[in-house]
């Protein structure tokens, strides 16, 4: 689980969401993370995804990361805005 952090940008390399970008909103264990994008996957029901099916980037949604670390409420619009600001949605 080295290098995986809340708020990190990932994209799917397998499954029906292949090629889509997401934000890591939770870490389940060494094999799984929870991802959401505010569009296909809402923050209320994030996707549990195997780490080996994701490509991890060195990009972070700083606002989302801070909110997750401080247990603040995050809206789907916040996730969409973060991904749109990076040109990924």
Q: Tell me, what's the pLDDT at 1?
A: 53
70 closest CA partner among 4, 18, 6: 6
Check if the beta carbon of residue 35 is closer than 8 Å to that of residue 54.
yes
Instruction: Read off the pTM.
Output: 0.92
Distances (CA, A) of 19 to 26, 63, 76: 20, 23, 20
User: Residue 11: beta bridge partners?
Assistant: 21, 55
CATH 2.30.30.30 fits 8-84, yes or no: yes
Q: Tell me, what's the pLDDT at 18?
A: 92
> Could you list the pLDDT tens digit for every one of the 89 residues in the chain?
568 999 999 999 988 999 999 999 999 999 999 999 999 999 999 999 999 999 999 999 999 999 999 999 999 999 999 999 999 87
């Amino acid at each position: 689980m080295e290098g995986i952090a809340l708020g990190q940008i990932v994209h799917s390399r397998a499954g029906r969401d292949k090629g889509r970008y997401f934000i890591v909103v939770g870490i389940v264990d060494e094999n799984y993370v929870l991802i959401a994008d505010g569009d296909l996957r809402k923050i209320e029901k994030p996707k549990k995804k195997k780490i080996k099916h994701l490509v991890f980037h060195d990009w972070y949604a700083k606002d989302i990361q801070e909110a997750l670390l401080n247990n603040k409420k995050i809206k789907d619009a916040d996730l969409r805005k973060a991904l749109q600001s990076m040109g990924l949605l």
